[in-house]
């Protein structure tokens, strides 16, 4: 997934920044402003004192809204307040972008829709699982070189994903449907090639025989090392061949660890050491693994980061044993309830969570099987089973590096320029900056899957072909979708202040302050988590005032000598009635 020794091209013209992908509002601020401005009433007056001005919120293009102080009698005031609160909720809790047909190659979109309908699940979930599995299986055959002038910039395409949503919302069913051909293949391999009890006894006898002969050869080699080094080396090679014969690798052994669930450092290192194929780690409850990685120096986290990158230059060492993990690859896919993620999402380690490049929340509407013709679903399912069955059975002898066409490379460069400018911007939160740092490799990996689809899922055609600009374009659009899901899921979208204000409002309306006059200091003294600083509480109350959900009852100096004024606040009465 991640590349080594990536250098930027020199003397490159700076591209203009595109529209910030940080903004994932379902209702734009301009639209909200126009809606509220149309309502009758007096304009908000700026506070008179200089102290009041200092406490006003920085201008975000939303402070000049005209809010009514007095609503006409014919207007239902309770409904007005409900509308304003819904507008705050919409802004505070934005919806991620939906994956649309223009994010995928047509051949891939048909599969995504059919697999989503088969499970009565969501397009966002299906797309994440499809891209995860195809990128993992393609990493058996290919790497990507996004920059023709930099042979050291090589990307392993395997990606990892996470499905997030409330319980019983069709996360596991869609994952199981997409992995079904993999499980069926492993079952066939076990039935056809798993050794019987007699075979195991015979193999153990052969193993003992070959190892004894190897020990004898090795002893002879050591005795001749100084006297005849050439003969000694020959005997050592013969001993190695006998050791290989003692422990042959069957067809079943080559594939038996394709799907694993053990995510302990030792368990995973042992399995990876015993396999040459990229592995799939499937977790029904991925939240437990994410919690485990929160501890500093966690060995499981360190091992997984290297395996998810697919380009780790080091082996895993534990208790004086070396496990062969160098350049081995793993993709992780799993699901977690929203509440589980919310409990620790702000503390999640950036380095590990950024490897989950495929993030999906549920769409606005699930795809129902009855909404799509049975022939379409059956055709998609048949095509998917055939495609995955073909990929899992093949074991290439070496990796092929796929390059980009000149236009595709130019397009990826321009996308990277935008990412770099967003990273340099003070308006981009740190977690999004960390995500953007890995985005060029992600776009290149998704583009490889798109190219595979464009070449009609033909490995030979892809081996002889290139990633084209259209593959990069589609991958870039899908990257915007997954970024919006990441931002909403991990609470790093641009509307955090509104989100905090809404949480404060809910706390107040559930307390005695719902019907009392109060100050920011009184709220802070309650020591509600996240609201213990009076200045911070005051800033959020000003946000709520913009939505006309709270009002200032009075401004008064803290003493006869003047000083910072103390505002007294109250929740609008109509909100309490709601």
**Do 459 and 394 contact (CB within 8 A), yes or no?**
yes
Whole-angstrom Cα distance, residue 383 to residue 194?
28
Q: Where does the pLDDT of residue 561 fall: very low under 50, low under 70, confident under 90, or very high at 90 and above?
A: low
Say whether both 573 and 449 belong to one domain. no
Percentage of the chain with pLDDT > 90? Answer: 40
Domain range holding 74? 39-94+495-577
pLDDT at 71: 45
Say whether both 300 and 186 belong to one domain. yes
Whole-angstrom Cα distance, residue 238 to residue 261?
38
pLDDT at 386: 93
Say whether both 225 and 308 belong to one domain. no
Say whether both 243 and 268 belong to one domain. no
Residue 502 located in a structural domain: yes
The residue among 430, 355, 436 whose CA lies nearest residue 17 is 436
Write the DSSP assignment of 265-306 as a string of letters.
Answer: HHHHHHHHHT--S-EEEEES-HHHHHHHTTSTT-HHHHHHHH
Task: Tell me if residue 184 falls in helix, strand or coil.
Answer: helix
Torsion of CA 314, 320, 321, 322, to 10 degrees: 20
Say whether both 510 and 461 belong to one domain. no
Residue 15 located in a structural domain: no
Q: Where does the pLDDT of residue 1 fall: very low under 50, low under 70, confident under 90, or very high at 90 and above?
A: low
Say whether both 259 and 405 belong to one domain. yes
- Domain boundary among the residues 489, 519, 542 is at 489
Residue 539 located in a structural domain: yes
Average pLDDT (536-564) is 80
pLDDT at 349 over 70: no
Quote the DSSP letter at residue 256: T
Say whether both 348 and 482 belong to one domain. yes
Residue 13 located in a structural domain: no
Say whether both 484 and 546 belong to one domain. no
Say whether both 56 and 75 belong to one domain. yes
pLDDT at 114: 92
Residue 300 located in a structural domain: yes
The residue among 89, 72, 217, 189 whose CA lies nearest residue 505 is 89
pLDDT digits (tens, 9 = 90+) for 436-477: 999 999 999 999 999 999 999 999 999 999 999 999 999 999
**Do 296 and 123 contact (CB within 8 A), yes or no?**
no
- Domain boundary among the residues 489, 504, 522 is at 489
Residue 301 located in a structural domain: yes
Say whether both 526 and 383 belong to one domain. no
Give the C-alpha distances (Å, rounded to integers) separating 530 from 85, 195, 202, 499, 539: 21, 60, 67, 12, 13
Residue 298 is part of a domain; what is its CATH number? 3.40.50
Say whether both 177 and 301 belong to one domain. yes
Residue 327 located in a structural domain: yes
Say whether both 278 and 186 belong to one domain. yes
Q: How many domains are contained in the chain?
A: 3
- Domain boundary among the residues 459, 489, 519 is at 489
Task: Tell me if residue 165 falls in helix, strand or coil.
Answer: strand
Contact residues for 93 (Cβ-Cβ < 8 A; gap 6+): 488, 499, 502
Task: Tell me if residue 380 falls in helix, strand or coil.
Answer: helix
Which of 29-38, 193-202, 343-352, 548-557 shows the lowest mean pLDDT across its residues?
Answer: 29-38
Residue 461 located in a structural domain: yes
pLDDT digits (tens, 9 = 90+) for 387-413: 999 999 888 889 999 999 999 999 999
């Amino acid at each position: 997934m991640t590349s080594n020794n990536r250098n930027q091209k020199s003397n490159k013209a700076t591209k203009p920044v595109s529209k910030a992908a940080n903004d994932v509002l379902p209702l734009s601020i301009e639209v909200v402003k126009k809606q509220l401005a149309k309502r009758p009433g007096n304009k908000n007056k700026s506070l008179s004192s200089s102290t009041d001005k200092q406490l006003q919120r920085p201008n975000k293009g939303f402070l000049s809204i005209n809010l009514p102080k007095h609503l006409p009698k014919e207007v239902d005031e309770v409904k007005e307040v409900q509308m304003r609160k819904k507008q705050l909720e919409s802004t505070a809790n934005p919806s991620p972008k939906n994956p649309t047909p223009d994010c995928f190659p047509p051949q891939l979109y048909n599969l995504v829709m059919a697999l989503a309908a088969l499970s009565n699940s969501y397009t966002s979930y299906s797309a994440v699982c499809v891209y995860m599995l195809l990128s993992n299986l393609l990493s058996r055959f290919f790497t990507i070189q996004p920059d023709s002038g930099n042979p050291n910039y090589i990307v392993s395409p395997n990606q990892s994903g996470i499905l997030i949503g409330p319980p019983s919302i069709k996360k596991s069913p869609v994952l199981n449907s997409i992995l079904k051909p993999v499980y069926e293949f492993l079952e066939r391999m076990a039935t056809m090639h798993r050794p019987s009890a007699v075979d195991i006894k015979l193999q153990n006898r052969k193993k003992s025989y070959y190892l004894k002969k190897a020990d004898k050869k090795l002893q002879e080699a050591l005795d001749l090392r100084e006297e005849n080094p050439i003969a000694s080396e020959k005997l050592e090679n013969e001993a190695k061949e006998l050791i290989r014969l003692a422990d042959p690798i069957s067809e079943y052994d080559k594939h038996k660890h394709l799907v694993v669930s053990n995510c302990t450092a030792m368990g995973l290192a042992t399995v990876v050491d015993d396999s040459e194929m990229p592995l799939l780690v499937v977790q029904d409850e991925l939240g437990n693994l994410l919690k485990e990685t929160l501890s500093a120096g966690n060995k499981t986290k360190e091992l997984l980061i290297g395996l998810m990158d697919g380009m780790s230059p080091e082996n895993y060492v534990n208790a004086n044993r070396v496990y062969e993990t160098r350049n081995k690859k793993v993709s992780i896919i799993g699901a977690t309830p929203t509440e589980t993620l919310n409990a620790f999402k702000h503390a999640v380690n950036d380095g590990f969570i950024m490897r989950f490049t495929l993030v999906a929340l549920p769409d606005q509407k699930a795809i129902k099987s009855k909404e799509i013709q049975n022939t379409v679903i059956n055709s998609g399912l048949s095509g998917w089973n055939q495609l995955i069955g073909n990929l899992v059975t093949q074991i290439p002898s070496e990796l092929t590096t796929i390059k980009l066409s000149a236009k595709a490379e130019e397009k990826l460069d321009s996308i990277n320029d935008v990412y770099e400018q967003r990273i340099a911007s003070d308006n981009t939160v740190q977690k999004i900056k960390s995500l953007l740092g890995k985005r060029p490799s992600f776009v290149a990996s998704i583009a490889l899957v798109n190219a595979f689809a464009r070449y009609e899922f033909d490995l030979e055609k892809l081996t002889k072909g290139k990633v084209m600009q259209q593959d990069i374009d589609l991958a870039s659009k899908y990257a915007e979708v997954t970024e919006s899901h990441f931002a909403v899921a991990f609470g790093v979208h641009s509307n955090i202040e509104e989100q905090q204000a809404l949480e404060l409002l809910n706390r107040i309306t559930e307390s005695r302050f719902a019907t009392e006059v109060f100050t920011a200091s009184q709220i802070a003294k309650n020591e509600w988590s996240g609201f213990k600083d009076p200045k911070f509480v005051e800033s959020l109350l000003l946000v709520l005032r913009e939505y006309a959900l709270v009002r200032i009852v009075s401004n008064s100096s803290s003493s006869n000598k003047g000083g910072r004024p103390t505002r007294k606040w109250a929740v609008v009465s109509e909100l309490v009635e709601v």
